[in-house]
Amino acid sequence: MKLQKILSNFQKLHPKEIDLSLDRIKNLCEKKLGNPQDKIKVISVCGTNGKGSTIESLYAILKEANFKCNVFKSPHIQKLNERYIFNNNELSDDELSDLLEKVEKINDNQNITVFEMLTACFFYKAAQYPDNINLVEAGLFHRFDATNILKNNLASIVTSISKDHLDWLPKDKQTLEQIVFEKTSALLNSNIIVAKQNNIETLECIKKTIKNNSSNKLFFNEDFSYSIKENGFFYYEDQFGGLKLPLPNVLGQFQLENISTAIATLRTLDLKIKDEHIKKGIKNISSLARLQEIKSGKLKELVKNNRFIVDGSHNEGGAKALNEYLQSLDCNKHVIIGMMANKEHEKYISYFKDVSSITTIDLKTQPNSISGKDLKEKFKSMTNVQYQPDIKQAIKSIDLKEGDLLLVTGSLYGAAEVLSLN
């Protein structure tokens, strides 16, 4: 309750949830907090899809190598505390409340958005651990994102970029080129590691945008790569040599792409991380709401012995990666989908091939979501689409046969509902 009250106070500081500008957070950090962002070592992660998974891969390997890390992620899935990890530990409710209250008092009711306040709080606390490695995920875009007030960093990772959050761009600039510009034109001069992209067009657009950036640049398939081998392992390779690695504990080929990007970053930074640290680390990656298999709980009881997966993908790139995984499975797939109103719904669903049923639902906790009935209408080109008002009723309505897979997807908010109900 205390955290909710503090967040409610934050919401009163600015009329908009998001207001793309760096002025307010610079004012707070530079004039009142002593520039904490200048006192820390940061690996920045921007892009559209794979940011969270890449950070979790970095974090798992670094922990295995006995590094102390601070981690800032957005959004959180179940609770705000997920965004705040210091010295390899998530802040407790009391610790987080104390931090937010302290920065709130220092800010003294000055105009600032909630995300900017949350970001300033992270930087303020992170400065207490100057020797730690900070893994910082950019929020919306990057150029005017609150995390982009750093003057120096260890590296910038660019994950897969695709169209998303188009409603935050002017109508005449809702293009892939503009999204790439927003995400990569303001990267710092250090190291830039570019993950696998969905197509050549996106990659060439990134290269064009960062052409004049003097950073050391690494690109997937040019400077580092991986290949899947038989007998339960994959092979990673870069300028430092090859690594025979066990398959990770997370699902989906896209996770191998994220893991490879993380490995390339850490080896480029020459942190003296040993091969064994990488091998052990990738077996202990957190995958909250990212092809996360639910193996117990209240909703799992409804699914019984069938596989039950939740995935927070919500845009075109996420749908493509998700369905590459689904296509690798030899079983009937039943999909439950709830989405936010500002997404490209028809493009998202167009990637779902060979699914046995689709059930649209209302996202009960999100006023800005599209209703399940309207979503069903948008999916009318698909066969076997039905509507149910919520997740529980959707699960009960599906006739699952032995060996069938049940997937809930379309939104991180929907994934959070599943995990909360479960």
Residue 190 lies in a domain: yes
Residue 229 lies in a domain: yes
Does 317 lie in the same domain as 254? no
Q: pLDDT tens digits, residue range 230-263?
A: 788 999 999 999 999 999 999 998 999 999 999 9
Tell me the two tokens of residue 226: 């991986």
Residue 287 lies in a domain: no
Does 297 lie in the same domain as 233? no
Per-residue pLDDT for 42 more than 90? Answer: yes
Last residue of a domain, one of 231, 247, 281: 281
Residue 113 lies in a domain: yes
CA distances from 275 to 26, 242, 283, 390 (A): 40, 10, 13, 46
Q: Of 187, 171, 213, 390, which is closest to residue 302 (Cα–Cα)? A: 390
User: What pLDDT, on the 0 to 100 scale, is given for residue 128?
Assistant: 98
User: What pLDDT, on the 0 to 100 scale, is given for residue 329?
Assistant: 94
User: What pLDDT, on the 0 to 100 scale, is given for residue 162?
Assistant: 87
Q: Of 214, 215, 143, which is closest to residue 183 (Cα–Cα)? A: 143
Does 270 lie in the same domain as 152? yes
Q: pLDDT tens digits, residue range 168-208?
A: 677 888 898 999 999 999 999 999 999 999 999 999 999 99
Last residue of a domain, one of 220, 253, 281: 281
User: What pLDDT, on the 0 to 100 scale, is given for residue 141?
Assistant: 81
User: What pLDDT, on the 0 to 100 scale, is given for residue 232?
Assistant: 84
The CATH number of the domain where 311 resides is what? 3.90.190.20
Q: How many structural domains comprise the chain?
A: 2
Does 176 lie in the same domain as 42? yes
Last residue of a domain, one of 281, 307, 322: 281
User: What pLDDT, on the 0 to 100 scale, is given for residue 19?
Assistant: 85
User: What pLDDT, on the 0 to 100 scale, is given for residue 213?
Assistant: 97
Does 127 lie in the same domain as 246? yes
Does 329 lie in the same domain as 274? no
Does 313 lie in the same domain as 164? no
pLDDT band at 163 (very low <50, low <70, confident <90, very high): confident
Does 134 lie in the same domain as 60? yes
User: What pLDDT, on the 0 to 100 scale, is given for residue 234?
Assistant: 95
Does 139 lie in the same domain as 6? yes
Does 185 lie in the same domain as 130? yes
| Residue for token pair 């999909």 | 335
Parent domain of 376: 292-421
Residue 149 lies in a domain: yes
Per-residue pLDDT for 166 more than 90? Answer: no
Residue 171 lies in a domain: yes
> Across residues 284-291, what is the average pLDDT?
92
Residue 38 lies in a domain: yes
Does 91 lie in the same domain as 117? yes
CA distance 179 to 181: 5
The CATH number of the domain where 6 resides is what? 3.40.1190.10
Residue 286 lies in a domain: no
Does 195 lie in the same domain as 124? yes
Q: What is the pTM of this model?
A: 0.93
Lowest mean pLDDT across 53-62, 152-161, 287-296: 287-296
Percent of the chain topping pLDDT 70: 99
Q: pLDDT tens digits, residue range 290-337?
A: 999 999 999 999 999 999 999 999 888 899 999 999 999 999 999 999
Per-residue pLDDT for 379 more than 90? Answer: yes
What's the chain's average pLDDT? Answer: 94
